[in-house]
Chain A
């Protein structure tokens, strides 16, 4: 299935892109991140991040569906 992944902050820097379209097999959000972590040599473990599925915060156990937009976000540092 086709999905879109968004990266922010330090993760964007490490992935070398703000977004990418991917063809993936069925997965959860955390498993997807672990695959991307390996592919892009990302330094942050999933437990340190927040994730969102279609602009709603989600847990790592959430199932990724076709056409989803999955965002991976390092700890927020606004303010």
Chain B
């Protein structure tokens, strides 16, 4: 079985992940990197922790990649999500998609990150410079499905 979705307790190496994707029948590659941001809703974020329900996250991650492969004219896709403690600037999630043509690669890349955020059991805990911390609930902050082009 080909493994396309992974979780990593250590830093993600996007070049290593990218090297597994290219194919001679692909005309383009599109990637998305989600980074740990140093601010959220007006607060300064000092540290983030991602917790996953590992066995289900791995299954669901594979399922959404299979779903994406069936939905778009793409050749392959792969994704890796961090777990554990991250500092602002760290790579939190990486996605790569290759396709015969660029339009499908862009669309599939966007679709895949949205599906991962919505359905893969991973949770973000943020610690702030004011000493407070919280588990994020995307259904509370209006950021569950961010359609704001500035978001």
Contact = CB atoms under 8 A, between A and B. Distances in A.
B74 to A, nearest CB: 20
Nearest to A52: B56
Contacts of A56: 56, 59
A66 interface: no
B144 to A, nearest CB: 7
A76 B122 contact: yes
Interface stretch (B9-17, B20-28, B103-111, B132-140): B132-140
Interface string A35-79: 000000000000010101001110000000000000101111111
Interface residues of B, number: 29
B110 to A, nearest CB: 12
B128 interface: no
A29 B25 CA distance: 47
Contacts of A9: 51, 123, 125, 135
Q: How large is the interface on A (under 10, 10 to 19, 20 to 34, 35 or more residues)?
A: 20 to 34
Given A8-B51, A8-B53, A52-B56, A77 B135 contact: yes
Given A6-B53, A76-B138, 18 more contacts: A52-B53, A52-B121, A55-B55, A56-B59, A71-B121, A74-B123, A75-B137, A75-B138, A75-B144, A77-B117, A77-B124, A77-B136, A77-B138, A78-B50, A78-B92, A78-B117, A79-B116, A79-B122
